[in-house]
Amino acid sequence: MEKELIINASLHETRVALLENGVLAELFIERGIDENIVGSIYKGKIQRVLPGMQAAFVEIGLEKAAFLYVDDVLHTENLNLETEDFIDQFDDPEADESFIESGAELKEEEREKDFEIQHVLTQGQDIVVQVSKGPVGSKGARVTTHISIPGRYLVLMPTIDHIGVSRRIGDAEERDRLRKLLENGRNNNYGFILRTAAEGVDDDALLREMNFLEKLWKSVVEKNRVKEAPACLHKDLSVTLRAVRDLLTHEVNKVVIDIKDGYKAVKNFLKKHMVDFPVEVDLFQGKEPIFDAYNIEGDIQRALKNKVWLKSGGYIIIEHTEALVAIDVNTGRYVGKHNFEETILKTNLEAVKEIAYQTRLRNLCGIIIIDFIDMENTSNQERVFNALKDALKKDKTKTYVLPMTDLGLIQMTRKRERKELNKTLCEPCPYCEGRGFLNSGKTICYNIVRDVKRKSVDMTGESFTIRCNTEIAELLHGEESKVFNIIEEFIQKPVVVYPVASYHREQFDIVENLRTPYSL
């Protein structure tokens, strides 16, 4: 499979597109005002401890206080890292898996918590935390004290003494080589995870990165010693360099970027951190925008629509709710060739591939419920379930899929690591306020009737003026003119409709006139 990274960089926004065989597979967007802070390390101050929730709010210098749950707290008396040998004091280590592809498996007893948050944290205490989830909506960032600093091949975890190897490295001899190399080469009792990209990499490159990450952590400790809370101690790479670090595999053969400074930064990063990695880096110099040249803009717009057509004529509907994402599969225009069960199976199997693709492209996260078309044959249900699991293997983000229920539903979860695409590019409609629907014209007209009747009881004026949206005014003068007869018969007073172009479709006012409208 041919893969390319296409980078559109500007002062206000950077967009990174991963193309697989010329098709947009993943999209990363970072804007100046919405800078991604996941992975950044802060010296914070405990703002408030909540024993009832076993959580605390931490002031880290952002608009909203960060949220720290008890399971993300190291059991130590020295969370502010005032000494460089603080690692020896950790007696309850746990790896943070936010940057680990499949990570270290710690023993269950090591994960057990035998303390309550109010016994470890106090209000006003300094604490070093790392952002594991960025702010979403009205919620602040989620933070952890289990620090993880990712490199190209390794993830440094200075708060534990553990070496793990990605499960995606299947060769037993290679796993053993990598583990022994780190065990013998590390200078401190820091934990490390060997990422999938480390497979086949020579010893010198791995040791260089290990030393680089250790020095980086020491600089964090030193900044923590001299800075007052709240303060940022370490920021992760820009979205461009993160994409180069995390997405470049041996299948990616080209990086194309449209800004000279970004081109130089990528070249320098590859030279410094990925010396032996063969990849072509090109500076795009075309006249049209780079995303237009690679037909990416159209794919982005299609990824914001809730209906996605399948090649057969069927389609899927993707709906976002507060609690979950619902995906519905429909046969649409597809009528099949042989029998109904075969038609349904083919539609469901085609939908599986599109759902896996859209989930990855749109970065759908949290709970996802998929309503497949009902199948009577149990073996067909199993076939669709297995096809979905296989299709999701391309996705690096962790997913968990449950078998299909008797109602034809598949429940799955996908780890939330960044904003969903629609939340990055869109905002709630100011008209429907997120409902997805507006009252029909008739409904609004009848609401006006009821409101006039309601207000006329206490009004003593000689007439009424209805101020409403232009479209509704036209309805009241035309198709729904009978409304006037109903109102005037009831209140025995004249009514005037006054169109206001700036009014929301559902907005209207009823004004009492002391004189009749004919004398105005």
Range ranked top by mean pLDDT from 61-65, 181-185, 208-212, 361-365: 361-365
Identify whether residues 103 and 216 lie together within a single domain: yes
CATH number, domain at 446?
Answer: 3.40.1260.20
- Of the chain, the percentage scoring pLDDT greater than 90 comes to 35
Last residue of a domain, one of 212, 235, 258: 235
Identify whether residues 117 and 203 lie together within a single domain: yes
Identify whether residues 393 and 487 lie together within a single domain: no
Identify whether residues 370 and 251 lie together within a single domain: no
Identify whether residues 390 and 505 lie together within a single domain: no
Whether pLDDT at 312 is above 90? no
Q: Which residue has the higher pLDDT, 35 or 430?
A: 430
Identify whether residues 350 and 264 lie together within a single domain: no
Domain range for residue 225? 41-235
Residue range 208-217, pLDDT digits in tens: 888 888 888 9
Identify whether residues 47 and 178 lie together within a single domain: yes
Token pair, residue 195, equals: 């990422």
Please tell me the predicted confidence (pLDDT) of residue 60: 92
Last residue of a domain, one of 235, 253, 276: 235
Q: How many CA atoms lie within 13 A of 457 on its CB side?
A: 5
CATH number, domain at 30?
Answer: 3.30.420.60
Identify whether residues 217 and 338 lie together within a single domain: no
β partners of residue 325: 320, 368
Identify whether residues 277 and 319 lie together within a single domain: no
Please tell me the predicted confidence (pLDDT) of residue 160: 86
Identify whether residues 60 and 172 lie together within a single domain: yes
CATH number, domain at 182?
Answer: 2.40.50.140
Over residues 395-415, the mean pLDDT reads: 91
Residue 431 belongs to some domain of the structure: no
Residue 108 belongs to some domain of the structure: yes
Q: Is 233 exposed, middle or buried (0-12, 13-18, 19+ CB in 10 A)?
A: buried
- Domains in the chain: how many in total? 4
| Contact predicate 331/373, CB 8 Å | yes
Whether pLDDT at 496 is above 90? no
Whether pLDDT at 114 is above 90? no
Identify whether residues 292 and 323 lie together within a single domain: no
Whether pLDDT at 99 is above 50? no
Residue 119 belongs to some domain of the structure: yes
The pTM of the full predicted model, rounded to 2 decimals, is: 0.69
Last residue of a domain, one of 401, 425, 449: 425
d(CA 239, CA 514): 64
**Residues ≥6 apart with Cβ < 8 Å to 506:** 431, 438, 439, 444, 469
Residue 433 belongs to some domain of the structure: no
d(CA 99, CA 71): 17
Query: Measured on CA atoms in the order 31, 34, 36, 42, is the torsion positive or negative?
Result: positive
Residue 328 belongs to some domain of the structure: yes
Please tell me the predicted confidence (pLDDT) of residue 87: 30
Average pLDDT, the chain: 82
d(CA 294, CA 248): 19
Identify whether residues 109 and 141 lie together within a single domain: yes
Q: How confident is the model at residue 33 (pLDDT cuts 50, 70, 90)?
A: low
Question: Helix or strand or coil: residue 317?
Answer: strand
331-335 long-range Cβ contacts below 8 angstroms, 24+ apart: 331/373, 334/310
Residue 435 belongs to some domain of the structure: no
d(CA 45, CA 126): 5
Residue 430 belongs to some domain of the structure: no
Residue 214 belongs to some domain of the structure: yes
